[in-house]
Amino acid sequence: MLATVIHAARDIRVEEVPDPVLSTGADAIVRVVAACVCGSDLWPYRGVTPTHGPHRIGHEFVGVVEEIGPEVREVKPGDFVIAPFYVCDGTCANCRNGVSTSCLTGGWWGSDDHFGGFADAGQGERVRVPLADGTLAVVPGPVGDDEIPGLLTLSDVMGTGHHAAVSAGVGPGDSVAVVGDGAVGLCAVIAAKRLGATTIIAMSRHPQRQALAREFGATHVVEERGDAGIARVQELTGGIGADRVLECVGTKESMDQALRSTRPGGMVGYVGVPNGGAELPIRSLFGRNVGVNGGVAPVRGYIEELLPDVRSGAIQPGRVFDLELPLREAPEAYAAMDERRAIKVLLRP
């Protein structure tokens, strides 16, 4: 089958790789219907995180179950399924506590699983899914082609934006500032509105992303950054800063922006993968009673809650995909996202 392999920074290839086979009784083989490129895939693409030899890449996909092992109970061949960006059993203590990203038998796409078999990455034609019952979420009934982008966002970006909002404690009537205008930041705008925020400030300098943020529920757009950006957020929130700030980038600058845009007593929800030396200034947080909560989003646990709103069209996170390419053009998908010509690229095998 064909799958995407990263060889080095800016060297993405679509290559022939071995077909996956069932290796434990709890596995499923899924035929990928759609996959996509994540903002975090750009870290190795840009060489920010090193690539030591060629390896498979991609961790967001939806597809149809083709085969299951004898122990699988919750999914069956023919089911349309959403895979979160990680493997989890759904039954261990961490999964039961809602932190399935810390699953005791979990793992990551494109690497060996807990039991030593290889779990394919998402940007390919097929994937061996370990712990299929815990990992996969079944989408009931027939799935229309136009539903696929929205369903695919439940694999990562919509659940991650939701996690930022939940971690920050967004509730009815809140003022919320969102730092980051990538797919996760835009989904965080959707999540903030869905949870009842009434003032939603999108921090973005990109006209097309600003427009989408407004359509998703942003009431204000702030283009300024640094001190000027903080001053604008304060102006829009009665001079004090936002109740809740959702940090969706992960850089030192974006975390600083988020922490200083939060009002005294407010909370930052952070979901951007921390790169580039982001650290918490405890003394400043202490002085202003600003809290910080969040981390790698346990999106598997959010799929059931968000799925009905995605299917009904009440929220439309699938609109973050502004480019669709065949899988064999994955190198162009990475380039388009790297150069910010596309917000998020959907790949069809």
User: Dihedrals φ, ψ of 138, to 5°?
Assistant: -85, 135
Burial label, 146 (beta-carbon count in 10 A; 0-12, 13-18, 19+): exposed
92 binds Zn ion (CB under 5 A): yes
Site stretch for Zn ion (CB under 5 A), options 98-106, 114-122, 165-173, 259-267: 98-106
Read off the tokens for 193.
């509105």
**CB closer to Zn ion, 93 vs 211:** 93
Q: What's the min distance (Å) between Cβ of 104 and Zn ion?
A: 5
Site stretch for Zn ion (CB under 5 A), options 52-60, 88-96, 143-151, 174-182: 88-96
Cα–Cα distance for residue pair 217/186, rounded to 1 Å: 9
At residue 68, what is the residue type? Answer: I
103 binds Zn ion (CB under 5 A): yes
**CB closer to Zn ion, 113 vs 174:** 113
**CB closer to Zn ion, 72 vs 190:** 72
* Total number of residues that touch Zn ion (CB under 5 A): 5
- Torsion-angle region of residue 110: left (phi > 0), alpha (psi -120 to 50) or beta? left
89 binds Zn ion (CB under 5 A): yes
What spatial distance separates the first Cα and last Cα of the chain, rounded to whole Å?
10
**What is the distance, to the nearest Å, from the Cα of residue 104 to the centroid of all Cα atoms in its chain?**
21
**CB closer to Zn ion, 24 vs 210:** 24
Q: What's the min distance (Å) between Cβ of 69 and Zn ion?
A: 18
Q: What's the min distance (Å) between Cβ of 83 and Zn ion?
A: 15
Q: What's the min distance (Å) between Cβ of 316 and Zn ion?
A: 31
Q: What's the min distance (Å) between Cβ of 37 and Zn ion?
A: 27
Rg from Cα positions in the chain: 20
Read off the tokens for 305.
């809650």
**CB closer to Zn ion, 37 vs 299:** 299
Site stretch for Zn ion (CB under 5 A), options 16-24, 83-91, 289-297, 338-346: 83-91
**CB closer to Zn ion, 89 vs 156:** 89
Site stretch for Zn ion (CB under 5 A), options 9-17, 62-70, 90-98, 206-214: 90-98
Query: Residues 54, 48, 103, 21: what is their CA dihedral angle, to the nearest 10 degrees?
Result: -20
Burial label, 312 (beta-carbon count in 10 A; 0-12, 13-18, 19+): exposed
**CB closer to Zn ion, 135 vs 210:** 135
**CB closer to Zn ion, 113 vs 181:** 113
Site stretch for Zn ion (CB under 5 A), options 85-93, 123-131, 188-196, 322-330: 85-93
**CB closer to Zn ion, 94 vs 316:** 94
243 binds Zn ion (CB under 5 A): no
DSSP letter (8 states) at residue 136 = -
SS3 of 160-217: the string is HHHHHHHHHCCCCCCEEEEECCCHHHHHHHHHHHHCCCCEEEEECCCHHHHHHHHHHC
Site stretch for Zn ion (CB under 5 A), options 87-95, 167-175, 248-256, 323-331: 87-95
95 binds Zn ion (CB under 5 A): yes
Q: What's the min distance (Å) between Cβ of 89 and Zn ion?
A: 4
Q: What's the min distance (Å) between Cβ of 59 and Zn ion?
A: 17
User: Dihedrals φ, ψ of 232, to 5°?
Assistant: -65, -45
Q: What's the min distance (Å) between Cβ of 254 and Zn ion?
A: 30
The residues facing 14 across adjacent strands are 4
Beta carbons of 65 and 28 less than 8 angstroms apart: yes
Beta carbons of 32 and 61 less than 8 angstroms apart: yes
143 binds Zn ion (CB under 5 A): no
List residues near Zn ion by CB under 5 A: 88-89, 92, 95, 103
